[in-house]
Chain A
Amino acid sequence: MEAVHLLLQGFAVLLTWKILAMMLLGLVLGIFVGVLPGLGGPNGVAILLPITFTMDPTTAIVMLSCIYWGALFGGAITSILFNIPGEAWSVATTFDGYPMAQQGKAAEALTAAFTSSFIGSLVAVLLITFLAPRIASFALRFGPPEFFAVYFLTFCSFVGLGREAKHKTVISLVIGLLLAAIGMDTVSGKLRMTFGSDSLLRGVNFLVAVIGLFGISEILLTMEERLALRGHAAAIKLSVVLKVWKEMPRYWVTLLRSSAIGCWLGITPGGAIAASFMGYNLAKRFSKDPSSFGKGRIEGVFAPETAAHASGTSALLPMLALGIPGSGTAAILLGGLMVWGLNPGPLLFVEHKDFVWGLIASMYLGNVVGLVIVLTTVPIFAAVLRVPFAAVAPMIVVSCAIGAYAIQNAMFDVWLMLLFGVVGYVFKKIGIPLAPFTLALVLGNRSEDSFRLSMIGSAGDFRVFWSNGLVGSITTLALLLLVWPLIGRGVAAIRGQPRPTQA
């Protein structure tokens, strides 16, 4: 197996003291980010990105992805102990996790959450190890029309499959694409939408937008809520860990089902949030005793956590293989790759073998080390919540400002971040989703380039997007997804069943 051989080489790249130290640091920072209110995976990674600019790309991406794993682990701690989901994807974990903590089984619930997270990731990493190189080598044959079709498919699936109102998703996507186009046009060298401003010449930086949208706006939203909290402090004993692990094989169907759901929703832009709910609901539906869910059933912790982690991890698969991120955080990691001058996409597997396999190896190692860290240090991280938000909030603001400034050493960017903070706050409150915006902003230039190159190649003939079987089926699928809600409504109308309008 070539993949196994390359993976072993990846481990060899990793095993230096410097990388291992950065990995630990990343994991600890990530768990902090996951536990603290007002900070989440995407903005944690975005804020800490500038620190990594001076590192070599491998060390940097390993540290950043470890922050991501840490955040995934950390979200579960507050869900179970405080009934406060540290991350949106751990909402479903509170349903059974918190009742377990109330019954004095906090340690069991935490062990279950961490272990199932680990299993979910492991399945997803295995998938990445064996599938990503194949997809990448297949995609090497892609030309501009194929790439545009894939980007188009990504955008359409957001509109067609997203749960938000369609026009709001479209608005979010289009604003992202428009802002990506500001500045120098890469094909003709002309300036677009700069309105004579020197600062806009460089365009709207993706990371600045993310720090504002997720970091600053999250603090504004958090302040609106009652910040009082009450919960349990728990330490995990080895005997409890072993007991839960012994019980675990009994739930193999749930674990497997949730892993599969997570991987699927991670690769398509469904996301960890949808995956965790779906994992939970399906476990409940297939259970012999569905009424016991929500009252502290350990399966109710296994199901959402496995799915959330599988999804969060497998979101990196399309990013590595095609250059298309499967989640907001993956989009930020992709932004990071571009800062280091790496071009994400199929060529990465050919040109930067060391880097790719080092990253994949770090997913294995990061998850093992992460599991050990969270199992042993839960009390410390739970105590972080004792720190009053009045102290945490200004520190997050300062970190955001440092992050935004450091990207291009521009004061303009700090103001822009503030503006995005307000925009993000308002958008979130009126239900305009931010994930499509993030994705569009990071993919905007590449998708426009591939569109224009296809157009130049075909002399302006749109039939180029149906010129062969592959590109034709991707384009058709994209258009189908775009109008999918209409089709669904049409079918329902023909059957004469009034379909309830979705919220």
Chain B
Amino acid sequence: MAEHDSEIAVGDPDAPDDSSPAVTTTRTVELVVYAALIAFALLLGFDNWKSGAGWEKDGPQSGYLPFYLCVILGGASLFGLLLALRTSAASSNTFVTRDQLRRVLQVFVPTFLFVLLMQWLGLYVASFLLIAGFMRVVGRIALWKSVVTALVFAGVMFATFDLAFDVIMPKGPIEALFGR
């Protein structure tokens, strides 16, 4: 079907550079995660021990199973920690490069702000800001395209969830103006 083939090509000028320096290694991240998991296991384990991790006359107390799960979690994490300590730092893979981290934060920070703003502005206005802002700033897409896309998407979501399916989302002052 060669005559029907046409190419689809999408560029990514902002792509992370392969030679970008490493921010941290997998080994370091593993050490941090295992340490955090051990702390988590201790915290939950203590809470369950307090609420009773033994036996009553009619069976295990409410903390029994979770307590032993914490023991397993702590043990497995300790094993992982020791394993990671034994591997040499030099042989460890890159966890994330500086370029990659920049790109990840480009999504994460707007997402965080979106969730934060959602509480005061309502979901739909916050979505409009997120989509339009992200397309314009991160994607460098033309302003009118970004605004129209965001407006249409927020509108469709509103029509689908609020009007058609009665799923109520957080609302803000703008929706209040329209009496919704």
Contact = CB atoms under 8 A, between A and B. Distances in A.
Nearest to B17: A226
A395 B156 CA distance: 11
Given A191-B51, A395-B153, A448-B65, 4 more contacts: A388-B139, A402-B157, A411-B119, A456-B58
Task: Kindly name the residue among A391, A409, A414, A426 whose own CB sees the greatest number of chain B CB atoms within 10 A.
Answer: A391
Given A388-B141, A390-B134, A398 B153 contact: yes
A219 B73 contact: no
B7 A178 contact: no
B59 to A, nearest CB: 4
A390 B141 contact: yes
A382 B5 CA distance: 12
A373 interface: no
Nearest to B4: A235
B149 to A, nearest CB: 6
9 contacts: A170-B76, A195-B47, A220-B108, A223-B104, A229-B9, A398-B131, A401-B118, A402-B123, A411-B119
Task: Kindly name the residue among B29, B33, B66, B112 whose own CB sees the greatest number of chain A CB atoms within 10 A.
Answer: B66
Contact of A224 (B100, B135, B169): B100
Nearest to A191: B51
A391 B1 CA distance: 32
B134 A394 contact: yes
B166 to A, nearest CB: 6
Contacts of B69: 174, 177-178, 181
B133 to A, nearest CB: 8
A455 B64 CA distance: 12
A228 interface: yes
Contact of B95 (A50, A51, A415, A429): A429
Given A452-B60, A456-B58, A53 B167 contact: yes
Interface of A: 50-51, 53-54, 81-82, 104-108, 167-168, 170-171, 174-175, 177-178, 181, 185, 187-188, 190-193, 195, 216, 219-220, 223-235, 237, 240, 382-383, 385-386, 388-391, 393-395, 397-399, 401-402, 405-406, 409, 411, 414-415, 418, 421-422, 425-427, 429-430, 432, 448, 451-452, 455-456, 459-460
A171 B37 contact: yes
Given A226-B15, A240-B1, A455 B59 contact: yes
A53 B154 CA distance: 21
Interface residues of B, number: 77
Dominant SS at the B interface? helix
Contacts of A192: 47-48, 51, 62-63, 66
A405 B119 CA distance: 11
Contact of B77 (A50, A171, A422, A456): A171
A391 B135 contact: yes
B115 A414 contact: yes
Contacts of A389: 12, 139
A388 B79 contact: no
Contacts of A418: 111-112, 115
Contacts of B83: 167
Contacts of B106: 223
B8 A383 contact: yes
Contact of B15 (A178, A228, A426, A432): A228
B138 interface: yes
Given A174-B69, A192-B48, A398-B130, A382 B8 contact: yes
Contacts of A181: 65-66, 69
B1 A237 contact: yes
A224 B153 contact: no
Contact of A460 (B33, B48, B59): B59
Name the 10 nearest CB pairs between A and B, nearest first.
A390-B139, A104-B2, A228-B12, A456-B59, A226-B15, A185-B62, A227-B12, A394-B134, A398-B127, A394-B131
A106 B1 contact: yes
A224 B131 CA distance: 19
Contacts of A50: 161, 167
Contact of A388 (B10, B77, B103, B131): B10
A430 B110 CA distance: 25
Given A171-B73, A230-B8, A402-B123, A188 B61 contact: yes
Given A181-B65, A418-B115, A429-B95, A233 B6 contact: yes
B10 A224 contact: no
B173 interface: no
Task: Kindly name the residue among B59, B104, B149, B153 whose own CB sees the greatest number of chain A CB atoms within 10 A.
Answer: B59
A308 B70 CA distance: 36
